[in-house]
Structure formats: structure tokens, C-alpha cells
Structure 1
Amino acid sequence: MRKEIIRQELNKNGSLNEPFFFMISYDLSRYEIYKLNELPNDIKFELSKNSNFKSLEKIALSKFPIDYSAYKKAFTSIQNHIKEGNSYLLNLTFKTKIDTSLSLDEIYKKAQALFKLKYKDEFVCFSPEKFIEIKKDKIYTYPMKGTIDAKVPNAQAKILRDTKEMAEHTMVVDLLRNDLSIVSSKVRVDKFRYCDKINAGEKELLQISSKISGELKKDWHKNIGDILTSLLPAGSITGTPKKKTVQILDEIENYKRDYYTGIAGIYDGTSLYSFVLIRFIEKIEDIYYYKSGGGITCDSNINLEYEELQDKIYIPS
């Protein structure tokens, strides 16, 4: 089983206390693990501690999103599953054809984000969302759920008091708190629902995150594979309950996420940093597709969700 192979290989690399890069697809069907000093030239990545990037250049792209009627069909199916009690929160995603004059290499060079990754000639990702960090025997995760245009009057106050957004974010925090409890002890929510401003091309978005932590045993380096595979796929890009929600999404989305909404990161010999692979452009037979989506609950407004799907299609510069 591929999950077991990934688990064992990550554990082996962590036991060596030698820096390595890792990348795992959404369904754990694909992965890459390399010692940092042996990383192939066709895999590029950057990590940054700066989340307040200034927009110096607007990168134009044309979007050809899924037809509204097709989106409505999927949205309605999601709502039916929620009414039947099969799930309470589902992160519905689609791929959107885009046109841009830039190559994947050019997009990678120009994009500004906490995490950037270019994988061969297949895709480029510029993610604002951390998955887990492990530092000084503590594990942290930062679920990101809730988005609003920063230009909306009183945007921060509006999204923080929105009932639907509160419910959606609370469910993800509860899911990830439970996930961390599988691999760590003394799990707590350190910070609940704080705002980050995200450069989104022609717009600025406010996105809501929380910070959750737990304590690990000192030999966690030997168990990196157990930790990561126990937490995947990420709760923020699936929903709750996770297992049933993943099954529903597989049926409704009708396309393969592949590395989109998987994770990537590095272990530097003492600490581990990882990110969710969102804000994602994939090249398929010389056509570019941007994969994006958002969380759906019983209180979701279809028009706002359809708009959010498109708002998340941008190249931050």
C-alpha cells in the first residue's frame, strides 16, 4: 500500500536527522522524497517567514470557470448530503482553464507567497496556508478557512461575526484539534480566528486562520511518517467527518486533484515545516488549469461560493 511505503520512507529519513524535502499528493498515490542536497533541478521550492507581501506588479490572466449551472448541480448535491447527515462541511473544488502569457518558470519567479513550489513541467504552487510545523518537540497546525474581499466595508468585522463563516471555521478547528490528538498530547487552541491579508492579484483578501498546538515525544524525528500519514489528507481542504467527506468529494468533483491540496515541506534536521498545496496552476497538454474551491456548509450562499471559487484564481506578485 502506497501510504505504508510513504510512512516507512519518511520515518527512515527522519531517523537519519538529515535535511530532506517531501511532497505528498492529496490521495497519497504520488510522492517525492529527496535529501536536500540531492534535490533534482526540475523541483524548485522556497519558504518564507514573511506573509505581508507588497503587490509590485499585477499579473494578468483570463479565467474560464465552470459554468454556473454545473456548479449549481454540484452545490445542490453537497447540500443534499449535508441534509442527510453524511457530512457537515465539504471543501468543494474545481479546475478552471486560464490563459496567461507566462510560463510555469516565469510564474514561479514572479509569484510571492509563504511557500512556492515548481514541480517539473507539471505545476506551480504559491501557497499561503501552513499545514504543520514541528519545533522544539511541539507540533503546530494553522487551519485557514474563511475568505472575504478586503475592500468590503468593515470586512474584518463582517467576516468574524458571520454565522456561516464562524460555523465553518469552528468545524475545521475541531477536526484538526482531533487530528493532532492522534499524534500528540496536551492539544490546545492557542489562537482562534485571526485575520491575515493575502495579496490576490487584482484584489486583496482577508483570510481567517487559527493556531493549534500539541506536544510530541522527543523521538518524533523517527516518526515523521507516522505523524504525516495520520493527518492526511488535510482537514482544511476536505471537511468533516473526514473519511465520508472525501468519498463524497471524489464522486462530485469529477476530476483528479492529484498533488493539488496535498502537502509539501522540509525537515531541516531539527524542525519540520510543511504547507498545503493550494493556489495551484497545473499544465495539462499545454493548457493551464487553476484548481480552487471553498468550504460548503448548510448555511452557504451559492452565489458567494461561486464568486469565492473565482476570487481564489490569481497570481500573487
Structure 2
Amino acid sequence: MLVVCGGFFDKPWKLYQFQIKGIEFYSSLKDIPKENGFFVFSYSLSAETIGVKVKSSDLPKIIFVKIGEVKEFNKTYEPVILEFVSFSLNKEAYLQRVKEIKREIEKGVVYQINLSTKIDFFLEGQPLDLFLKFFQTQKTPYAFFLDLKDFFIISGSMELFLQKRGDTIVSKPIKGTAKNRKILEENLKDKAENLMILDMMRNDLSKIAMVGTVEVKELFKIEEYSTLFQMHSTVSAKTNAKFEEILLNTFPPASVTGAPKKKAVEIIDLLEPHPRDYYCGCAGFRLEDDFTLSVLIRTAFGTKEKLFYFAGSGIVYDSQEEEEWKETLSKIQAFYSFSSY
């Protein structure tokens, strides 16, 4: 089953179900088919794109779903229960890693790192109902549910990694999260971090762009969602590069790694005890030479009753450890609300 939000097609944020005509798995971006369909790319492909081996499980690196007819999807969800099991990095461990990152920043090794924790749950109920509840709690443009029987993926992403229409390609990296618009508008730390990631995306796009076409379209735009506010900027370019070439030059998304990207990915893999797998990868539709790919944030995957959700925050030199943990928990709230921690 594949259920997606209309944001992938610049339509209202309603849900649509696609007929699945076939599913294929790949391990390299160089082997992916040129057919139309829905793709999921694992963060573990960083080994191919930037030459940094990262932790990974035995889940497929690339999922390709051949799609057929589409129809609106309207279903009310049945009750589900999520039982919290554990963090891969609990509060104490997370705060310690933030301090370690700040030391690396002080030494000039990196400028920013995105640090995440994995949250393990037991699920009582159907994964589709959990997705529908998640979507109703916080509607986002790039939400989707993919059930492959052996495992499933749930995403409530609001972040556009790359969208190509004709020869125009656009990216909208998100950096900056708060529960209050005014706080986010006045937060110099978030704006500095946002600008840093925007510059990385400008650099990534310049690798596949026509000379002189990379430009910033929006700076520090704030979007409101049901549980939080997010800040994004927008960069665009003109390109005649093909799908695989674009991914090989831009993946993984800058907003979920850090600066500089290669060194950030190396440090992330040292500090995070868990494989990210699909979290911080990307997913979306390819239709001929056009495509729309979301960043796989607010994303969970699992098998039957076992479920893994991820959340993190961007660490810079003036990050406050406690505030970074609070931001991480705020990104879980629409999926599961913690009464403590």
C-alpha cells in the first residue's frame, strides 16, 4: 500500500492512494530504473555519494515502487497504542554528545552537526492507523505511508529536499524550530544555522547547475504547523542534469548532516550508536525528468509491532545543551507526546 499527501504534486494536503504494480530494490544510485514511480533512498547511500561509510542495517538502500492508478484516500483511523521502550541516546547521553560536538566546532573541525536519537516503540494496532493519526495530528505536505508487508515506513515530513520542474530545480532546507513564532523570528542562532545550511545547498546545486543560475528565492521564511513553527530558506537553479547525477552530487541532504558535509557525516557516525537507515534519506516521485523529493525527517519505520522513530537538532558553537534536547523532543510531539524526559 502507498498513501501520500498531495503536497508532492503541488495539490492540497489531502491523501491519495496509488496502485502498486511492482516493487524493486537497489543498492546503488547508478542502477536505479528510469521509469516513473515512487522512490525511497536510505541515508546509508552516503557511502556512495560522499565516500563515508555509515552504519546501516539489512534494509534495502533504495526502494522503487511502480505505480498505477491513483484515487483520493478517505479513511478514519482506528485506535492505536504506542508503548515507549527506549532512546538510543537518552537525555544524559545526548547532552554529552552536544558538548563533544561543541569541542569539535571550537577546534575548527566542523561548523555545525545534526545530532539525532532513535526512539524505540512497541505498536499495538495497525501501522496505517498510526500514520493516519499522525497525519491528522500534524498535516504536512510530504507525508506518506508505504507498507511492503515485511516492513513499513511512515513519514510526516514537511521538508522539500529537491523539486525539479522542467530545467528549474528548487530546494527548501529547514533549520530552526520553536513553539512560538516570535521566538523563532528573533533567534539569531537559528538564523545563523539556517544560513549555513542554505550556503551548503547553494554549493551542492552549483555542481549540477548551469553557470550563474543559482539564486536564493526566500530567506528565513517561517511556516506554522500544529505543534511547532519551522524556518526554511529557498534556493533555486537551472539544470540539465539527470536524476541520478543530481542525487550523486547533492545527497545526503545538507540540513540533516552539517558543515562541512563529509566531516559532519563522519562525526555523526562516531557519535550516534544507531544506523539512520531511511531517516535523513529522501523519498518521493519521479515523473519523466521531473521529480519531487522530501527529506525523511519526522519519519518512522518498523516491522509489525516494532517501530523506530528519530528526532534530532542542529548543533552550533553557541548551542545550549538543554535547549537542544527540548527541541529534539518537540519534533516527536505530533507522533508521541512524552510526559517527562
TM category, shorter: 0.7 to 0.9
Partner of 1:312: 331
AA of the residue aligned to 2:108 = G
Select 1:277's aligned residue among 293, 296, 300.
Answer: 296
Partner of 1:152: none
Distance 1:259-1:238 versus aligned 2 partners, 3 A rule: same
**TM superposition score normalised by structure 1:** 0.81
**Is this contact kept in 1: 2:128–2:145, CA < 8 A?**
no
Distance 1:227-1:22 versus aligned 2 partners, 3 A rule: same
AA of the residue aligned to 2:202 = R
AA of the residue aligned to 2:132 = K
Within 5 Å, which residues of 2 pair with 1:9-20?
9-10=31-32, 13=34, 18-20=35-37
Partner of 2:217: 190
CA displacement at 1:118 relative to structure 2: 2.4
1:229-262 CA distance string (max 9 Å, x none): 2111110000000000000000001110011110
Select 2:169's aligned residue among 139, 152, 162.
Answer: 139
The CA distance in 2 between the partners of 1:47 and 1:309, in whole Å, is: 33
**Is this contact kept in 1: 2:80–2:125, CA < 8 A?**
no
The CA distance in 2 between the partners of 1:77 and 1:47, in whole Å, is: 48
CA displacement at 1:89 relative to structure 2: 0.6
**Is this contact kept in 1: 2:80–2:124, CA < 8 A?**
no
Task: Give 5+ residue unaligned stretches, structure 1.
Answer: 39-44, 49-55, 150-154
CA displacement at 1:124 relative to structure 2: 1.6
AA of the residue aligned to 1:291 = F
SS at match of 1:167: helix
Within 5 Å, which residues of 2 pair with 1:107-256?
107-112=130-135, 113-115=140-142, 116-120=144-148, 121-149=151-179, 155-185=180-210, 186-199=213-226, 204-217=227-240, 220=241, 223-256=242-275
AA of the residue aligned to 2:134 = A
The CA distance in 1 between the partners of 2:27 and 2:273, in whole Å, is: 27
AA of the residue aligned to 2:247 = L
Determine whether 1:6 maps to 2:28. yes
Distance 1:102-1:148 versus aligned 2 partners, 3 A rule: farther
Higher helix share: 1
CA displacement at 1:284 relative to structure 2: 5.9
CA displacement at 1:283 relative to structure 2: 2.4
AA of the residue aligned to 2:199 = D
Task: Give 5+ residue unaligned stretches, structure 2.
Answer: 1-25, 48-60, 337-341
CA displacement at 1:60 relative to structure 2: 7.4
SS at match of 2:322: helix
The RMSD of aligned alpha carbons is: 2.9
1:192-248 CA distance string (max 9 Å, x none): 01011122xxxx20000111100012xx4xx21010121111100000000000000
Select 1:35's aligned residue among 53, 66, 84.
Answer: 66
SS at match of 2:269: helix
The CA distance in 1 between the partners of 2:265 and 2:216, in whole Å, is: 25
Q: 70-79 vs 108-117, which deviates more?
A: 108-117
Could you tell me the percent identity over the aligned residues?
A: 28
The CA distance in 2 between the partners of 1:285 and 1:266, in whole Å, is: 26
The CA distance in 2 between the partners of 1:37 and 1:110, in whole Å, is: 26
Count, aligned residues: 283
